[in-house]
Structure 1
């Protein structure tokens, strides 16, 4: 049997593997864009397939496409959207800035599947009727981002937030040394610290939800430059409405299609919220890592779950690996934010031509943060315990309890007590009595850590 088939376009003929579902446009792209190992994210492919199915339905409703062709296109697109044919989309993400190669890859696979089902549809005239890469691809970017955010990121963030609230309650009565500038400060409870972490995550939740509203606006119907040339005036709004119903997302056609093609401010804003989340997670993770440092030469106030051996040379060593993984993800997301900022600024005239990079990095940020938060919550936070003895030991030795004396004997006198205790290695009580600053009864009455909370 012949292992290849011949297909022709305006540039000539090419031999394509007989069993390949794609066509000549995809085959050329495999040759001209053999760059790196990163393929176009499947979420973008699936989203474009959803758009193709909705577009075929709307075109049939508008009397622009034969019903049988619309059904064939829809059936093929649904198979792609259901992740049944991911191997048919081999193109590198590093291609034209409009995503045209991957868009045509989708069109060609749909046409091939329709032909296998017994109906010939034209890649451009039928599958791509009323559409352009310039409006389909950014619309797919938004849909893919919305789906992944709702399915992965927000559930993981919500669960982590709830866990932080639970820890805040569980630790509410555990007094400890507060720290500012990494130096001892006045007391705080471990629960109060964790309530702060929960509040940081809650602020991130609000920011992300706010940013998602802009992502719900789709460029579909803009076609090449935003004017909607070669499409029905109702096409874009109808497709957006149908997709909203089918995908259960609050999708709408963008109110200004020129901006929808030329800029990506909605995704920049979302990535800004993800960067904010990465910053908060990095701070939280590092705090937990510091409080869990030791077990004997660190702070040792938290007992982190011991999941695996930490060293190939030091027996019994256990490391804060979940925190390390989380913080590396945060660093990657912050890097993506920089790349997306540069890419989104490249919207010369009517079209931004860095769309695949933006899609890749936004989706990667969502996926990484979602996975990392889930892993951190499950394998670190859930089993996190307080080291009660170490908390009490550190609190008893803290010099900053002297702050409780300031209202009674003044700042300068209290500072003398703290300095003497530090110099001679004594307790605050001993130093205060040595200086004659207070009586034993007064010290015991005034210096109460719990009264300082």
Structure 2
């Protein structure tokens, strides 16, 4: 059966609600809703961020995959009859395909270690499965959210498993974005390979290099981040599914854990998913999220440093460094005509600041766990997923709207190298440190190029000077043949 997840036709006035119950009593549930009593209570309890599960399709898909794998495994071990299992599977497959996303209405931050998220998923799957069986929503005697959809499971193994799967999908997108930015910087490195400029340390002239080397370093540092992120991603593939409440596997049939994990591998297309060797430890430990957060912070810090460099190198343009030009994207001032600001790097800087702050949140939430469970995984997930989303989007914008369009002021860079006292460093081995230092000081005080002073005093022949100040010699690159 197919499902249209568009707007529902309003129910007649007498049917605008159905009555469900939980351990606290009866609850009015909107008649059109696929969620149930537990979700209604959670919506009332946690009106916190305005961000609901519906804003996180990766998590919804992961939850549905876990429920689908569990239904298959429970049917195979004889805990669930084939009719109910098939209906649950079909409902989960529809949800994984994007249906009923608007029915996931619980706030991302919630008490209960993710129980409200798990219950929202159980109820939506159950009510859609009931429809597939020809039953009305809420007729839980036929198929129950807990007795059947949540069979052999607990929030404490379902939620962290789904979170890991969701983050894994997020990371795949971020890795692709990082690769695109790295390639864009590498292309600029090749384009600017013959452009000499002054390198700087502590914002002071140091020694010459090429602009290509500067951009090549950006590419290299991003390659390192890709590797560290990929390593952190692999740690997410160790799961505690089947551990149920605290890792003992209580209420799960023998063989369920192995079968559920195998089905989850097939459903997600991730053959590297494995079961934790100690499910009790895995249920209480969130170290993998701390490590992932650290990898994201590393990316954010280095990305922000790159953006700082781009802003410095393009500053001015007349009264600043003005060595490169960033693509103009919008008018920069409401009062200063003609001003253009480096708005793309500035935006990425702010994303980096957010990710760095989120790392503190993840750290505190991880430390706050107690005994056999960490109750703060919802804020951990929200922090990590937001960082992944925003980094991915920001890197994409930086690549396409900034880096690919960067140009170099070759004439200005050449003049800067010729006039800089930093070029004297290249002459120091031939002239001696004391002579080179005196030349640099005189050039600085008089404003005359140091190379002119060398020529006037015949300290080196023209051939020697050319050899020592060639682009290859100054940048440390092999000479072209």
The TM-score with structure 1 as length reference comes to: 0.96
Contact 1:35 1:92 in 2 (8 A): yes
CA distance in 1 between partners of 2:410 and 2:462 (Å): 27
2:409 pairs with 1:387: yes
Deviation at 1:442, TM superposition (A): 7.6
**2:197 paired residue number:** 176
2:39 pairs with 1:26: yes
**1:417 paired residue number:** 439
The answer for unaligned runs of 5 or more in structure 1 is none
Contact 1:148 1:367 in 2 (8 A): yes
Deviation at 1:83, TM superposition (A): 2.2
2:94 pairs with 1:79: yes
Which of 147, 155, 167 is the matching residue for 1:145? 167
> Tell me, what secondary structure is at the counterpart of 1:95?
coil
Deviation at 1:449, TM superposition (A): 4.6
The answer to which of 251-260 and 198-207 deviates more is 251-260
Deviation at 1:409, TM superposition (A): 2.5
**1:10 paired residue number:** 23
Deviation at 1:67, TM superposition (A): 0.5
**2:48 paired residue number:** 35
Contact 2:242 2:256 in 1 (8 A): yes
> Tell me, what secondary structure is at the counterpart of 1:239?
helix
CA distance in 2 between partners of 1:347 and 1:167 (Å): 47
CA distance in 2 between partners of 1:439 and 1:33 (Å): 78
Structure 1, residues 72-124: CA drift from partner, whole Å, max 9, x if none?
11111222222221211111122124100111011111111122222531111
Structure 1, residues 129-162: CA drift from partner, whole Å, max 9, x if none?
0000000000001000011111x11111111111
**1:270 paired residue number:** 292
Structure 1, residues 212-233: CA drift from partner, whole Å, max 9, x if none?
1110011100100100000023
Closer, same or farther: CA 439–36 of 1 in aligned 2, 3 Å = closer
**1:426 paired residue number:** 448
Q: Which runs of at least 4 in structure 1 moved beyond 6 Å after TM superposition?
A: none
Contact 1:405 1:446 in 2 (8 A): no
Deviation at 1:209, TM superposition (A): 1.2
Which of 273, 297, 302 is the matching residue for 2:324? 302
The answer to which of 4-13 and 64-73 deviates more is 4-13
**2:214 paired residue number:** 193
Which of 63, 68, 75 is the matching residue for 1:60? 75
CA distance in 2 between partners of 1:5 and 1:193 (Å): 65
Contact 1:401 1:449 in 2 (8 A): no
> Tell me, what secondary structure is at the counterpart of 2:27?
strand
Which of 235, 241, 249 is the matching residue for 1:220? 241
Deviation at 1:346, TM superposition (A): 2.0
Which of 166, 178, 184 is the matching residue for 1:163? 184
Which of 18, 39, 49 is the matching residue for 2:64? 49
CA distance in 2 between partners of 1:443 and 1:54 (Å): 74
CA distance in 1 between partners of 2:308 and 2:58 (Å): 32
The answer for unaligned runs of 5 or more in structure 2 is 1-11, 136-141, 476-481
CA distance in 2 between partners of 1:288 and 1:233 (Å): 59
Which of 290, 315, 320 is the matching residue for 2:312? 290
Deviation at 1:438, TM superposition (A): 2.0
The answer to which of 406-415 and 391-400 deviates more is 406-415
CA distance in 1 between partners of 2:187 and 2:383 (Å): 33
CA distance in 2 between partners of 1:34 and 1:223 (Å): 28
Structure 1, residues 299-325: CA drift from partner, whole Å, max 9, x if none?
111111112222222222211111111
Equivalent residues, number = 451
The 5 A counterparts of 1:86-97 are 86-97=101-112
CA distance in 2 between partners of 1:398 and 1:199 (Å): 28
**2:229 paired residue number:** 208
Q: What's the Cα RMSD here?
A: 1.7
Structure 1, residues 45-87: CA drift from partner, whole Å, max 9, x if none?
2211110011101111111101110111111122222222121
Deviation at 1:452, TM superposition (A): 1.9
CA distance in 2 between partners of 1:329 and 1:418 (Å): 42
